């Protein structure tokens, strides 16, 4: 299988026309930046001299941020609390140009906030403010109804599950039923709590640890990777499974097609926070622009390679993605004499065959998969 560099550039140009509905656990990410010059006399902890602070959408909101940064048109759907953080989060989403009609304000839940204190390019500590789960039946129904109404008006639906309660069995069943009646493209970043409830998505994007747990197979080598991928295709009744494997890159599974491996393209890793959201957003935009699963994976792999070189909940622009593709044409995904990119397709392990269809390890491993929850 070969992917044309010119074709990838054309897909990126089309991102501006793609409409994406993102549903999931919206959070507010706060960052406190500073310097450490001494240890506190009160306790053996560093004293951080604060130099600046900022806040930005996190969780499913970071997927929205990535879509907007790449030039796509995003709408957010989820639940926030009736509090200052919820208002700040909604305002931040609107500032990105995202639609917020699907953001439900709940009097029963508080907005999840993650505060990261960073000194000398390193995270010192993270402070979380959250309730254990969103327990708001009326709010969940409003989210479900909004998503079902919005399916027909967008190019892609993204489910960003951080296991905070917005994504649950009712919403997932409703999406699967809607897809059965009138197929649409939807991609899912899964979480353990809902492993038993995902069905019929266009693409499932677990990381290696999640894939191993969901499949019940320890992924140790190529054979166990193939076995896990094949099992997840069947368990989730999905068209494709994309497993992110950190420094080993990504593995794409489709029914009857074996597995295709995409090696990592990251050059420097400073911070893996939110890199999985970048992969999810890029895949969604590429598929919405008419790209194949292979093209979406190549673009997402390069996008992740850029954002892990940045600190914080980072995003990248379309021009950065184009530059990354131009600069990274080595290894298995490489430019041949014709100036085209290729991805090496591998056969499934013996005895592992699919049916045709229509359609926290180490931080280094978390580079393209595990999202910080």
Q: Where are the beta strands (DSSP E) in the chain?
A: 2-4, 19-24, 26-39, 46-59, 73-81, 99-106, 112-119, 122-129, 156-160, 185-189, 203-204, 240-244, 250-254, 259-262, 334-335, 340-342, 344-346
277 is catalytic: yes
User: Of 83, 170, 277, 319, which residue is the catalytic one?
Assistant: 277
Measuring CA to CA, how many Å separate 84 from each of 15, 30, 67, 80, 88? 33, 13, 25, 10, 6
DSSP character at residue 163: S
Measuring CA to CA, how many Å separate 289 from each of 16, 178, 201? 9, 22, 18
Tokens 């508080």 locate to: 110
**Spatial separation of the C-alpha atoms in residues 302 and 324, rounded to whole Å:** 6
DSSP strand pairing (19-24 vs 156-160): parallel
What's the CA angle centered on 57, arms 56 and 59, to 5 degrees? 135
Catalytic annotation, residues: 277
């Amino acid at each position: 299988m070969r992917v044309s560099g010119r074709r990838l550039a054309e897909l990126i140009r089309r991102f501006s026309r793609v409409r994406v509905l993102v549903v999931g656990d919206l959070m507010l990410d706060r960052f406190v930046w500073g310097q450490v010059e001494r240890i506190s006399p009160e306790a053996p902890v560093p004293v951080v001299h604060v130099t600046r602070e900022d806040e930005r959408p996190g969780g499913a909101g970071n997927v929205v941020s990535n879509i907007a940064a790449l030039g796509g048109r995003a709408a957010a759907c989820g639940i926030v609390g009736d509090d200052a953080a919820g208002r700040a989060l909604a305002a931040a989403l609107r500032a990105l140009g995202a639609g917020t009609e699907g953001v439900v304000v709940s009097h029963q839940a508080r907005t999840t906030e993650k505060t990261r204190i960073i000194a000398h390019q390193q995270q010192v500590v993270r402070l979380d403010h959250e309730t254990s789960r969103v327990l708001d039946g009326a709010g969940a129904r409003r989210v479900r109804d909004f998503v079902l109404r919005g399916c027909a008006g967008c190019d892609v639906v993204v489910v960003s599950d951080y296991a905070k309660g917005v994504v649950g069995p009712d919403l997932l069943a409703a999406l699967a039923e809607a897809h059965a009646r009138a197929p649409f493209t939807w991609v899912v970043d899964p979480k353990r709590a809902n492993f038993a409830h995902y069905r019929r998505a266009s693409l499932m994007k677990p990381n290696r640890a999640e894939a191993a747990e969901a499949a019940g197979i320890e992924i140790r080598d190529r054979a166990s990777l193939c076995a896990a991928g094949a099992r997840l295709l069947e368990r989730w009744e999905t068209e494709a499974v994309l497993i992110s494997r950190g420094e080993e890159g990504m593995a794409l599974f489709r029914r009857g097609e074996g597995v295709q491996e995409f090696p990592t393209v990251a050059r420097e890793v400073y911070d893996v926070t939110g890199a999985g959201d970048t992969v999810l957003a890029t895949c969604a935009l590429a598929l919405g622009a008419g790209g194949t699963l292979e093209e979406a994976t190549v673009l997402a792999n390069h996008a992740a390679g850029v954002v892990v070189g940045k600190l914080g909940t980072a995003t990248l622009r379309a021009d950065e993605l184009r530059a990354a593709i131009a600069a990274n044409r080595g290894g298995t995904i490489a430019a041949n004499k014709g100036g085209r990119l290729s991805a090496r397709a591998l056969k499934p392990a013996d005895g592992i065959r699919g049916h045709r269809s229509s359609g926290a390890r180490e931080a280094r491993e978390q580079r393209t998969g595990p999202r910080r929850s």
